[in-house]
Structure 1
Amino acid sequence: MIGQKDKSWINTFQKMIRRSYSSQECAAIWQKYQDVFSPNYQSLMPPRYAVSDIFAIEKTLATKEAQLNLLNPGKAKNHYRLHFYTLEPHYLDDYFPVLGNLNLRVIDQIQFPLNVKGTQVFIKSFTITAAESQCASFSILRCRLLNMIRAVLNKKVENDRLNSLLILSGLLWQEIDVLRAYRNYYLQLAYKVTQDSFHNALISNPDVASYLFKYFEARFRPTLEWEDSLLREEQALFPLRIKLLEKIEVVSDINHDRILRTLFNLIDATVRSNFHVRRDLNDFFIAFKINSLGIIDMPGPRPQNEIYVHAVDMEGIHLRGGKISRGGIRWSNRIDDFRTEILGLMQTQMSKNVLIIPQGAKGGFIVKQECGDACYRATGKSAYITFIQGLLDLTDNYVQDKVNRLPGIVSYDDHDPYLVVAADKGTAQFSDIANSVAAEYNYWLADAFASGGTKGYNHKQLGITARGAWESVKRHFRELGKDIQQQPFTVIGIGSMDGDVFGNGMLLSKYTRLLAAISGEHIFIDPQPSDSQNSFVERKRLFESAGSSWDDYNRQIISEGGGVFRRDDKNIIVSDVLKKWLGIRYKKVDGETLIRYLLKAQVELLWLGGIGTYIKSSAETHIDAGDRSNDSVRIDATELNSQVVGEGANLGFTQKARMEYALSGGRINTDAIDNSAGVDISDHEVNLKILLMRLYKKNKISDYQKLFNSLTEQTCQSVLSNNYKQTLCLSMEQLRSDTHLAAYMQLADYLEASNYLDRKAESFVRTKALMARQSQILSRPELAVLMVASKMYLSEQMLKQSDFLKAEYFEHYLLAYFPEQITENYKDDILTHPLAKQIKATCISNKIINQAGALFLQLPPEYENNLLNCSLCYLTFDQVIEADSLRLQIFELDNKIQTKLQYRVLQVIEKTLLDFCRWALINTKEIIPSEDTIDCYKMYFKEYQRQFQKDLIKDETYTAQIKTYIQAGINQTLAEKISFIESIENFPFLVTLTAETEQAFTHILLMHQDTNKFLGLDQVYSYLNE
């Protein structure tokens, strides 16, 4: 009987081969396979499916790649055979997780080892059925199922429970991946939802899952039928929205309901997606752009929009504070909460970017694959490319000065052609990669897309971020009466010498006495460095050695009691020197304990140049700090004993920690203030490149790169000047806030109400809490927040008035932004720069707030709509009295006179300018900085000054004041000018009176002086000022 059955099977098999192959192929196939299939195989599989197996085996042999097939032997209606064809044997655990997540139940399994002309081929055969109800039969789902399994095995898509939606709802694997992308984004939003909860909500309600994708599809499928957005809304979106809400309404589980509604909201808040551009490509991934303001209950702070990029091996997020915004791209290692990390950095970036034209942005990506270092770096590079492609897929382009969108992208937002990125942690060498991707898109910014790289400014070579932060450090010490460029000072640092910010920073003064440093792997301690330059030279050697670490430091020059230890060391012997210095009572400590002692040590400067949040406030938990990797070494701000903190790196302190440290007498700004130079120079680079590219295309320059390189040092000096002036502003604000605290709090309330200050996100104090402070003052970090918000507000007010910045008298500020070499030769091209308006607004708002302070915005209620007129008036008189020249002369007195006197003299200038503005407001005078107006006022100003100098010798008060200035170190010319400016609050009134009476200015001036003397008004003014 058995032999007869075998013979019957083989006969049928031969007939099936004849039917399936041509006469030419038939003999060869029969010859090849007549003895391949074993009796065991023949007993289980009908001959017609053996022919199907041959097709798959032939393909496996030809491609050397695994194949699969779905067969129905017909024994049971819903039982199918799933075959995997490979050249190597595979274990069950290679397949079971895949089948289980597809909601498939395995009834049995068997492996058929075959010998095809000497080549081993393996058929892994599973009898399968659906574990739960399926939306359609396997015969209908066959292609979808095989494609899904193929995609999972080829690592094109993740293997998780969402894949069961194919069986439950009929969704394709790419369509399920859309829901998976939203799941991953959802989990990054810090909602209290687990991945399992999300899966349960969709798997328990497959009909809703199907309609969620249908809604996504209707929003973003490119079709001529729905090219009219109103038609798309009427015919597709509105009906689907109603249907979807009906489906969700009948969901019984409240948690499922909440998740499904949030998912619906996320899709509704999505304004662009590249799904239909990428769905059939080999490098399939998904990117979508979300209007963050449209997401219900999104935790703050909210970006204006964000792009999320999702692929099987990576995820990434790009957060933008405005339409024109820029910031670095970070390779994050925070798999579970990388958006939280990037959001914190974006918030810092928003503060930094008040110095530059775009608003703050920040991007970051993670690599999901775990492998060795070389593989990890290659995967990181690939992930970065995917991320940049995702961003550019959803960004418009300029083609022949017209905005173009990538074909296949449906958009629900305005034109969006400006996207600029920069390097950050882990991506320092990736700028050229980003620019090469941009070149593939023919992106209009070309190599200005990613700043840095071989054709841009190398931040580490320039040391620009550290040099900018050093301006903050020098100012702190100058106010303490110490010149750290000429006097020794002690430092403990976070970072290593191979790093950009830490390494450059520790080479900026030969008087740096580095006592200790903490990096990601090592602890360096040199408790009593010699006065020789040996340590400086050794630090320089490490800085110039690529990939160096503290472990490479020459132990021979480390002072007694010091050494280099690993952070993860369990037993570090504590020397007597360390015991005395750090107050350690133990003979041995572990690395983490030693780090905590070092952070608490008495030292002049704590220099932050590495990654990690090391200081929190005493009221915060380690969870609040948001940096799990440093939970075991972090200390409270109240335990810190350094005099000054320089935040060359981001997020070294929480904002509450900065405030607590500052209120206890520590000198600190914020990371956004200290390390803004890197951002600033990148912005200069981008704007310069945009200009130079336009000049090159017009054949006005031939060697674009040579000209760009020649401008480097001028650009660096411009950037460092911004750092100098911004830290000066904070010092001036501290002085002003001591006497005008209520006004600052009123301004904070106003900026909060106007959505320019997020009090919660910035931890900015409320009035009630301020009154409860032991010293009722605003800390320097809080004033930094207020300064940034004020600059944003003023800049936005200018940009909102479409014609305001078009006036010719603003050209001066635009031209001053670029190096002189450029402005001398290409003025007309600068004036037509695509970002001319933004550059003007940024430069003017920085100038006014840096000099006059945030209270410049605090106008009386009846004049609050006159801010821009007041700005014009300020800019006019700033030029009339040649205030910039005076300020430069005062800046040159750094370390020559006391900072208190410098600030006192600067206050004189600003008080006079604000008095002029106040007079113009009260008298409803619109004074604009036109050339004619400035020339007119300057003429009268010089007349006034000549008369003042004539009268000077008669006035003992002014003579004594000038003498005091000169004795303090101010030269006579400057002393006289400041004394003069201090006494001319009536100048605008006298000019107006001169114009209205048509009398000579000198005549009006003398009459005014005589009247004041006769009525005793000079004495009254003196009393009022006191």
Structure 2
Amino acid sequence: GAFNHMHIFLDPDPDPAISFKERERLFALPRSGWTDYDRKLISAGGGVYARSMKSIPLSDQVKTLLGVKADRLAPNELISQLLKASVDLLWNGGIGTYVKAETETHESVGDKANESVRINGGELRCKVVGEGGNLGFTQLGRVEFTSKGGLMYTDAIDNSAGVDCSDHEVNIKILLGQIVSNGDMTEKQRNRLLAEMTDEVAGLVLAHNYSQTQAISLVAWKAPEKLYEHARFIGNLEQRGRLNRELEFLPGARAIAERQARGQGLTKPEISVLHAYSKMNYYDALVESDIPDDAYFQFELKDYFPKVLAERFSAEIVIHRLKREITANHLTNRIVDHVGPGFGFRVREEVGADIPGLTRAYVAISEIFGVDELWGDIEALDNQVTAAIQMELMLMVNDLVRHTVIWLLRHHEQGVSIQSLVDHFRDGVRELAAGMPKPLTSTDRLALNRKVKYLSNAGVPRELAQRVGILAPMASSLDVVKVAWQHDSDILLVASVYFNLGKELQFHWLREQIGMLQIHTHWHDLARTRLSDMLNTHQREITAHILKRNRPLKKAKRMIEQWKADNRLAYARHAEIVAEFKARSSLDFAMLSMVVAGAETMRGSTLS
């Protein structure tokens, strides 16, 4: 069914192909309305009714569909029932606010004309809402609906393609205007070129909006785990006067604590708001930095434009009068859509890096690991595997990106050029990836094979399943490459020592225990991350020491056995503590902090 300001349309059992074709005809018909719909194409029990009628008769088919017993309903009552219908999609394309939260009054909504049809978000029985119109829901109405399992974003997200398209149009016309004024193109040629680029511009806009909603869905998938990170970011924005929490209907400290206790995170409508603020914050930081002037990012500027412009007018694009703003905007969308809202603030708290530094690290990691190509291959699985499998693959990529970006920022000066980072790490990382799973322990190889089999059985091509499956061990690849470079050693030998050492010292088990620690504050979260980072550092440094002292032994396991013999007291003490911990039913921060500190002592003994 459907309704507008004049009519109510009921089609209780439509033929999708026939009804789509008829609606398409009406769309192309000037000044058309529901009364122009061919009545012969409406299913039994349906019809078109004027909203001016006193009451509308309900057929048995309509009563069954809506779950009502009345034989007639007033038009506004019928509209309320339509809004509550058990359907897949509720699409709002009109004017007015039709859904609020139970906690809100009609007066607070500010749309008196629709009070008699308006319902609460918790009364909706549809699966998905699409907001083609603005303000069809209150924000609290959206939150109420999604808190009960419904799927929706916000009107701003669902309508963002229009704004995006306008931005492209303006920026393209500025570029072409300069080219015409230089005498390199006639007005007629400009107009023809604009028409020819229509489909490609539409593709660029849709791709961006696809990425944005994908990003929000990925964040929502892990929202309970990221609640403290999101809450911390909201608080920081509020403290700096960049966000009014009450105005945007974002939860306060008490509500966040209640959600944490229930194992809930932010809803998609709330994440949509935070995502937008994250982009504004990120963009402002980039525009104020030297990032848009860095020649390395010229490819970002060119990627924004249709290919025909990038190829024919490359020189003109790099002197576009809005080049700084376009570059900053393009980078902001690319990065925030991948790492999610608040990651920049999280990075600042962990390693003291700013947004320009994060940007350089992200782009370097993307080049080193071929992230864009891998992400594109996962996106190409649309409608071939389930959305859950796609999101699982994407989150595995995101975990790698987050870990390695922070690693770069922790171990390299922020001013280091992107190209030097790429040149330093890319070949080693790719050599290690190509050699997988050879350097892994037998246990890790078995786990990898199980993961690849699971993904393959879910419909993921085996080659792609393998590339994604190795991402977990590849998170340590920068440590491995660093040691190999420092000691001029074979990358696969270093990796074999590194991974076998981790097994020998039970570091993988310790990481799992650290990951299972209960966190109750943002600082617990940071402390947990720091423990894992310290463990990684110990593993890298002990690996370096083993290679330095025992390289003549050539084989990883022999080198490790010799190291154990040389450091038997420290090793025995560590093994004793781990064995005791394994016998316990649970571990806490203090216990794991102690064993990590013990590993540091063991690392110190190797360097004496």
Q: Deviations over 1:159-179 (max 9, x none)?
A: xxxxxxxxxxxxxxxxxxxxx
| 2:321 is the alignment partner of 1:831 | no
| 2:204 is the alignment partner of 1:714 | no
Distance 1:892 1:928 in 2: 34
Q: Deviations over 1:501-539 (max 9, x none)?
A: xxxxxxxxxxxxxxx1111211111112236x3322221
| 2:367 is the alignment partner of 1:901 | no
| 2:8 is the alignment partner of 1:520 | no
| 2:25 is the alignment partner of 1:541 | yes
Distance change in 2, residues 1:860/1:612 (3 Å): same
**In the alignment, what sits opposite 1:981?**
471
Normalization by structure 2: what TM-score? 0.79
Task: Return the match for 2:48 from 555, 561, 564.
Answer: 564
Distance 2:210 2:417 in 1: 26
Larger RCO (CA under 8 A, 6+ residues apart): 2
Where do residues 734-883 of structure 1 align in structure 2 (5 Å cutoff)?
734-772=220-258, 776-801=264-289, 803-857=290-344, 858-859=346-347, 861=349, 863-883=351-371
Post-superposition offset of 1:865 = 4.7
Task: Return the match for 2:105 from 615, 618, 621.
Answer: 621
Distance 1:780 1:833 in 2: 36
**AA at the equivalent of 2:393:** V
**AA at the equivalent of 1:847:** R
Contact 1:953 1:959 in 2 (8 A): no
Task: Return the match for 1:962 from 440, 449, 452.
Answer: 452
Percentage of matched positions with identical amino acids: 32
Post-superposition offset of 1:770 = 3.5
Distance 1:567 1:613 in 2: 18
Distance 1:689 1:1024 in 2: 54
Post-superposition offset of 1:892 = 1.4
Distance change in 2, residues 1:1023/1:977 (3 Å): farther
SS in 2 for 1:814: helix
Whichever structure has more strand as a proportion of its residues is 1
Distance 1:1014 1:634 in 2: 64
**AA at the equivalent of 1:834:** R
Q: Deviations over 1:831-871 (max 9, x none)?
A: 11111111111111111111111131223536345332122
Normalization by structure 1: what TM-score? 0.48
Whichever structure has more helix as a proportion of its residues is 2
Distance change in 2, residues 1:586/1:899 (3 Å): closer
Distance 2:462 2:350 in 1: 42
**In the alignment, what sits opposite 1:529?**
14
Post-superposition offset of 1:696 = 1.1
Distance 1:634 1:1016 in 2: 59
Length, aligned pairs only: 509
Distance change in 2, residues 1:530/1:874 (3 Å): closer
Post-superposition offset of 1:982 = 1.8
**AA at the equivalent of 1:991:** V
Post-superposition offset of 1:784 = 0.9
Contact 1:526 1:559 in 2 (8 A): yes
**In the alignment, what sits opposite 2:215?**
729
**AA at the equivalent of 1:879:** E
Distance 1:520 1:688 in 2: 38
Post-superposition offset of 1:1014 = 4.9
Distance 1:931 1:775 in 2: 42
The structure whose Rg is larger is 1
**AA at the equivalent of 2:183:** N
Post-superposition offset of 1:1015 = 4.0
SS in 2 for 1:642: coil
SS in 1 for 2:108: helix
**AA at the equivalent of 1:805:** P
**AA at the equivalent of 1:711:** M
Distance 2:416 2:307 in 1: 25
Distance 1:838 1:959 in 2: 46
Contact 1:876 1:928 in 2 (8 A): no
**AA at the equivalent of 2:79:** I
Contact 1:527 1:561 in 2 (8 A): yes
Distance 1:929 1:554 in 2: 65
Distance 2:492 2:177 in 1: 53
The gaps in structure 1 that reach 5 residues or longer are: 1-515
| 2:430 is the alignment partner of 1:946 | no
Post-superposition offset of 1:998 = 4.6
Q: Deviations over 1:212-248 (max 9, x none)?
A: xxxxxxxxxxxxxxxxxxxxxxxxxxxxxxxxxxxxx
SS in 2 for 1:618: coil
Post-superposition offset of 1:585 = 3.8
**AA at the equivalent of 1:787:** H
Q: Deviations over 1:332-381 (max 9, x none)?
A: xxxxxxxxxxxxxxxxxxxxxxxxxxxxxxxxxxxxxxxxxxxxxxxxxx
User: Superposition RMSD on alpha carbons, in Å?
Assistant: 2.2
**AA at the equivalent of 2:305:** F
Post-superposition offset of 1:651 = 0.9
Distance 1:580 1:1013 in 2: 62
Distance change in 2, residues 1:929/1:593 (3 Å): farther
Distance 2:69 2:513 in 1: 61
SS in 1 for 2:129: strand
Distance change in 2, residues 1:560/1:926 (3 Å): same
Q: Deviations over 1:715-762 (max 9, x none)?
A: 111111112111111111112222222221111111222233221221
Distance change in 2, residues 1:948/1:700 (3 Å): same
Distance 1:966 1:596 in 2: 46
Contact 1:600 1:641 in 2 (8 A): yes
Post-superposition offset of 1:952 = 6.5
Distance 2:142 2:499 in 1: 51
